[in-house]
Structure 1
């Protein structure tokens, strides 16, 4: 059986994912030993073995003195007939008593893929559901469970029970330690979902452990250190999304509850975004019946509408590719970016001026793009957030009368269906606009200007193509960079500081009349002095004779910190130079 299991993996008939676990598979298969399948447990399949004794108390005929006579059988009657035939006696002369032991758990569970369908009978369920396609389980039971199922499937049915085995990582605490009662670091999923106070966590240790009082005290101290405020209520979807985001096909997951709580905030973002969108769709909104209609109206959409449709296509591609390669963090990252940055931070913000305008045609077009973004976004995220996505999906108007009533049975978006909505040129142009917005925001931070403070902005470019792009996206740039006025020009304005965008384009931000230049210079100088002081202290530490003996993790952190301080210092000096130049302008 082991040889056949090895051949199945080597031939590719059975795929183990991640591939690194194949080494463990081959090691176990090459080290096969006799397997004691009996256990002294209260529950399990009782071993079908029967001890034979004579009713008259005499020794069993043909059995050596001091030995026992055993027979096996699927039923008591089958075992009795075997004993009668083997001993050449009549049934009324012998007693049978079944062994009280049960089969090993892994022996019983090894029968699972087919026993649940009525095996050994050839049932309809067996025909439909055996063999299956994918098994998902922890890598720690690759040999104990997975191998047994493969053994029995090949031996008893001449078929593998599944084609692929996906082995997920094991969950550890935030410090990488194995979850242990003695450490007090076991995290009950229900406590993460519903939330729990530190006092209640401590109470669990008192009530549900046989630890020594000293160990309990130590465990409570660990809980106090990790959860000083207890565990906040995160919800089921946030926990599910977090675990999938952590699963990078490694052997361990170091679960930080604070990160799970961060995904709870992400859930709130989805809820609020959909609520805002539904307000703007209106009660009587009826979406276009097909994606082809969106494609047919392509030239009527604004550039940001077309960009949003393109981002949906990219997300669909990413999620499908991620599922195909079992790379769940790739999918969760794509979905997080789609909802948080693209739908919420960019598209919804850009839609506000449109929805507040009197242009009903533009509103209708944007509403259909917004609806499509919600529908696709919720459907894509539903495997990771089934409860929240279902609740929000139910609030969306149906695209057609034949649309599925539940997101659970809604077809998952496929790239082939959505690729018609992607335009590479639009994507590249909007990326350029996003760089402009990002650089302006950075410049505002550099000059200590709050993000919500409106500025006067001039975008100067010697490149005609860049100017065309900037002019077509001027409203979006104005909205996202928060400006009071914005224009595209080939001339350099007065009283402004420059922020280079690329070789041909400069963003000029007017500061005169907006800020007190003297106070701004003082703040930036103080910031530069502080960065310089911290940098000198860090360099002194790094240049010590025995610095190479400092743990690598700390050295790496110091190197990153040094680079950040150098960048901050350089930015502050650059800002001071430009402010001085502006004073003499």
Structure 2
């Protein structure tokens, strides 16, 4: 083994070997275990959310493969209709070309060309993360097989009356000229205005005041609504108002939707431009007047004076006209939630268009029942409540998009506008008995990307063909996903799986939290706190990081803010941590909570963990290579330390199995870390030394210890492998020979199972006594600032016969690790000199202090530390006693300060006790 651990030297080589040798393909043996990779966008690059979820999925896949399951991790990418089309259109725009210049077919050729040459970046990054995806089965939502599945599902649903075409309100992006899903709409609070407008009553008896944040939509008003119980307006219900600027009269209606306490209690109703108003309009049979074009300009339905104006230009003119007519009551500053398209940043408009819809209610009923009956289990269970809330209030699903890249809707129209749905045009003519004289044109729209994603669990396995893979791996075992797409993806997969496979698509849904930065802030480019997993793996200089984050494409003020945040967080850039340190960090953070704080301090700690494991392996190999490790059937005798570590290993194995079975990756990682660092490295490797180097130790005892050293390490590597694949493979290749195990890769090893015959409670209790003895002496050395190598006289008081027996049996361990100069067993009547004390059970371990320390120097040192601590404590307590600080500071800052005060108080108490003890010498 190399002297130092270098992740760069092993990671790419090992992954290339795994992939070239087909190590990730299903074995064909054992119980099936399958996970579907949530398909990342073909335009995307790996972010921390991907890295987090992919680490957890890969841990499960490797764990179950090592347990003998027939394991498949099905990977692939999503065609990402809107995002991909935008990427290619931007490339064309640099050459002064639009997609319309090329035409549909030529443009789609350009998209496929881009996908071939530039659309595979995220797959490369997934490989860097060590993901054990079966790349030979990689799928793409636009490949031939999946496209066939999409068409098949659409036609079947249409034939059953579960897909229809209708005119309804949708989220409309006026830049992209397409409907978008709720997930593609980002609503953030912005400063705006609330305009209060006067609508005169038609009978001349006065006016009503309505308030609106979008005055331009008043051109499409078809009613004013009041609450039916509002005494101020009950007498006006059924009357009309003159809608200013339009020459139209609209009715005053009564509806419970109106909040009498908000504004004037009168609400303008614009059914064609507001989702709530649409519902009111449906209840009252109000006309729908659409006043916008596809690019949010005023159309010919509005008065001539405003036609062709951009919406905000029209807003300014409308307000000016209201003011000229003395119909503008007032304008208030008002904060409101503004919906913007996540791709374009344009304000989204509710827009009335013809779209294709899935009738969701009939599909939702069995999907709800599947979770109620336990066919699908959510982990944590509380997410099932979110699922039920969405599903029981489900609306029909708009599945059409007005773009070119995607699955084109399999519907054709004749010259009269009649619709013919079929798998292709030939089938449409046969199915609907259309002769050659009927001219057909295919619908220009494509399907929402989520439609093909909803079929992912069975389409990727070959459906509608009844393939062996479909039979073997459907239903899949678990879906690992974020809470934000439970409705958009998870629920729809359940509905489609039950509909077309007559079974749920997965048995469990493990819902992960959201990765945030160390301060709990959401990661975003604008905040300059985004972390690229590959930067953490490979490291990156500050200069390169700044160049990557400030691309010159943003506003100068934002560029400056990002640069400042980057310099503050990474003054020296990001060091190389390697994949295994990143993966173990992510696994250790995977608690059952919703938000997860990612702190670079954690990954640095786990990089040290990798070093610790590497150095431990080098020590083991130095003491076992070319030596008798008991693999040839030679005589062995196990020491107390051997029996202890083997027993601790069985406990760890059982705990890891239990925690991974419950998706508590954090607790499994904690168990593995503590066993590796504390039990194996800190204690067992030290306890081995007096056996391996002792002069009066038998060959059988040395053989037993060498066997335990290497066999425990080999099993530990197997336990760690699912979370830390690279370093464990690299070490295992060196360790397998002295450990006496076969195989070309650790992937072929069975995951360890606990052996109850090796559980030794007595050995654990006895070694805990030894550890307490050693730690007692170490603590006294540290407290009294005594050199670690200085032998110390030890007095033992209140000892029981069992204490004497344990000491005599383990004197070699204690002598080697604690260095007692002499040992005296005191009788009950003996009065010991002034000593430092530690407890070993009920026995007192005493170290006489006279002559061991420079009393005056130690008192001076302690007095200086006490004074410094008292000053810091006073400052923190003053801060916490300041009501303004407690009220204004973030709760996390206040909590951290309180915890710091508690720590300082405890430390001060210990220092004062130590000072008092030394004064009495």
User: What range is the shorter-chain TM-score in?
Assistant: 0.7 to 0.9
- How many residues matched? 554
Q: Does 1:221 align with 2:564?
A: yes
Cα deviation, residue 205, structure 1 = 2.3
Separation in structure 1 between the aligned mates of residue 794 and residue 834 of structure 2, nearest angstrom:
9
Are 2:397 and 1:35 equivalent residues in the alignment?
yes
Mapped pair 1:383 → 2:716: no
- 5 Å-filtered alignment, 1:267-278, equals 267-278=610-621
Using the size of structure 2 for normalisation, the TM-score is: 0.57
Q: Residue 519 of structure 1: SS of its match in structure 2?
A: helix
Q: Output the CA distance in 2 between the equivalents of 1:249 and 1:445.
A: 38
Q: Which residue of 470, 495, 509 maps to 1:151?
A: 495
Q: Corresponding residue for 2:526?
A: 182
Which residue pairs with 2:639 in the alignment? 302
Q: Quick one: which of 374, 381, 401 aligns to 2:713? A: 374
**The one of 435, 440, 446 aligned to 1:96:** 440
Secondary structure in 2 aligned to 1:346?
helix
Give the structure with the larger strand fraction.
2
Partner of 1:567: 906
Q: 2: distance between equivalents of 1:520 and 1:73? A: 91
Task: Kindly report the root-mean-square deviation, in angstroms, between the aligned alpha carbons of the 2 structures.
Answer: 2.6
Deviations 1:376-426 (A, max 9, x none): 1111100100011011111113488873332112111123xx221111122
- With over 3 angstroms needed to count, the CA separation of the structure-2 counterparts of 1:547 and 1:49, relative to structure 1, is closer
Q: Which residue is equivalent to 2:424?
A: 75
Distance verdict in 2 for CA 1:388–1:41, change over 3 Å: farther
The answer for the alignment partner of 2:298 in structure 1 is: none
Tell me which moved more, 240-249 or 128-137.
128-137
**Selected match of 2:654 from 300, 306, 317:** 317
**Alignment counterpart, residue 861 of structure 2, candidates 502, 510, 523:** 523
The farther-off stretch of 382-391 and 97-106 is 97-106
Aligned to 2:410: 48
Residues 510 and 311 of structure 1, relative CA distance in 2, 3 Å threshold = same
> 1:300-344 CA deviation, whole Å, 9 max, x = no partner?
422111111111111101110111110011111111111111111
Cα gap change, 1:256 to 1:529, in 2 (>3 Å): closer
Select 1:206's aligned residue among 550, 553, 573: 550
User: What is residue 7 of structure 1 aligned with on the other side?
Assistant: 369
Distance 1:527 1:97, change over 3 A: same
1:17 to 357, 379, 382: 379
| C-alpha displacement of 1:75 | 2.5
C-alpha distance 341-72 of structure 1, shift in aligned 2 (>3 A): same
- Structure 2: distance between partners of 1:242 and 1:271: 17
Alpha-carbon distance in structure 2 between the residues aligned to 1:430 and 1:123 = 57
CA contact (8 A) 1:528 1:568 kept: no
Distance (Å, rounded) in 1 between the aligned partners of 2:512 and 2:367: 21
1:197 maps onto 2:541 in alignment: yes
Contact 1:184/1:219 (<8 A) preserved: yes
List alignment gaps of at least 5 residues for structure 2: 1-362
Unaligned runs of 5+ in 1: 54-62
Aligned equivalents of 1:400, 1:349: Cα separation in 2: 20
Of residues 755, 758, 783 in structure 2, which corresponds to 1:446?
Answer: 783
Report the Cα distance in structure 1 between the residues aligned to 2:645 and 2:414, rounded to whole angstroms.
Answer: 78
2:917 maps to 1:578 = yes
Q: Closer, same or farther in 2 for the Cα pair 1:507/1:217, shift >3 Å?
A: same
Asked if the contact 2:550–2:562 (Cα under 8 Å) also holds between the matched residues in 1, the reply is: no
The aligned counterpart of 2:246 is none
Q: 1:538 to 1:549 in 2, by over 3 A?
A: same
Cα distance, 1:24–1:461 mapped onto 2, change above 3 Å:
same
- TM-score under structure 1 length normalisation: 0.88
Q: Which moved more, 1:130-139 or 1:9-18?
A: 130-139
- Are the counterparts in 2 of residues 44 and 102 from structure 1 also a CA contact under 8 Å? yes
Alpha-carbon distance change, 104 to 575 in structure 1, aligned in 2, over 3 angstroms: same
Q: Which has the higher helix share?
A: 1
Alignment partner, residue 481 of structure 2: 137
- Cα deviation for residue 354 of structure 1 reads 2.0
Q: Name the CA distance, whole Å, in 2 between partners of 1:532 and 1:402.
A: 59
The residue number in structure 2 matching 1:357 is: 694
Residue 487 of structure 1 is matched in structure 2 by 823
Q: Which has the larger radius of gyration?
A: 2
Match of residue 421, structure 1, among 740, 758, 765:
758
Counterpart Cα distance in 2 of 1:184 and 1:391: 36
How has the CA–CA distance of structure 1 residues 173 and 104 changed in structure 2, closer, same or farther, with 3 Å as cutoff?
A: same
* Aligned CA distance change for structure 1 residues 473 and 101 (closer, same or farther; 3 Å): farther
Please say if residues 721 and 728 of structure 2, whose CA atoms lie closer than 8 Å, have aligned partners that are also in contact.
yes
Q: Deviations over 1:458-514 (max 9, x none)?
A: 443422222322333333333333x25253623569666231305631122244443
- Higher relative contact order (Cα pairs below 8 Å, separated by 6+ residues): 2
Offset of residue 549 of structure 1: 4.2
| Alpha-carbon contact 1:390-1:407 (below 8 Å) kept | yes
Q: 1:218 to 1:426 in 2, by over 3 A?
A: same
